[in-house]
């Protein structure tokens, strides 16, 4: 096999991978998206401040407090009322679906993201049989 054949095989592999990625649904974790936005902020600070008024507002000194104010657009803490009867911490990982801890955390993240999305638009909650309250979009 010569170098041209190897290059063609590599191109075919790249095309197959791209086709597979484009045809399947791909979930991006918030940390993955945040890292990309951090890179954009590092390289294109001026452009982002033009498009996103919250980043250039003189009343908010967020750009002076943080080197990267992009985290402003991400939930780091989602407050909630504590449960009266909270399960023990060790049993939580045993009840989650998934073979590895990473799969379990991704499944939990996805479930939480769907719940947060349904606060804004209840039609986005596609869990079967779940009774969902009206979202902000349905109320307004």
**123 or 13: which carries more pLDDT confidence?**
123
Q: Are 75 and 85 in contact (CB under 8 A)?
A: no
The whole-number pLDDT of residue 68 equals 66
CA 1 to chain centre: 43
List pLDDT tens digits, range 35-72.
888 888 889 888 877 777 766 655 554 444 456 677 77
How far apart (Å, rounded) are the C-alpha atoms in residues 95 and 112? 15
């Amino acid at each position: 096999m010569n170098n041209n054949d190897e290059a063609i095989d590599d191109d075919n592999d790249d095309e197959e991978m791209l086709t597979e990625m484009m045809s399947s649904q791909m979930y991006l974790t918030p940390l993955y998206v945040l890292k990309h936005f951090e890179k954009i902020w590092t390289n294109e600070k001026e452009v982002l401040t033009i498009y996103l008024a919250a980043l250039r507002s003189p009343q908010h000194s967020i750009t002076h407090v943080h080197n990267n104010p992009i985290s402003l657009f991400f939930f780091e803490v989602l407050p909630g009322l504590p449960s009266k009867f909270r399960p023990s911490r060790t049993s939580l990982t045993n009840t989650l679906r998934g073979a590895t801890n990473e799969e379990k955390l991704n499944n939990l993240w996805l479930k939480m993201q769907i719940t947060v999305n349904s606060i804004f638009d209840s039609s986005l909650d596609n869990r079967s049989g779940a009774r969902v309250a009206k979202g902000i979009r349905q109320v307004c």
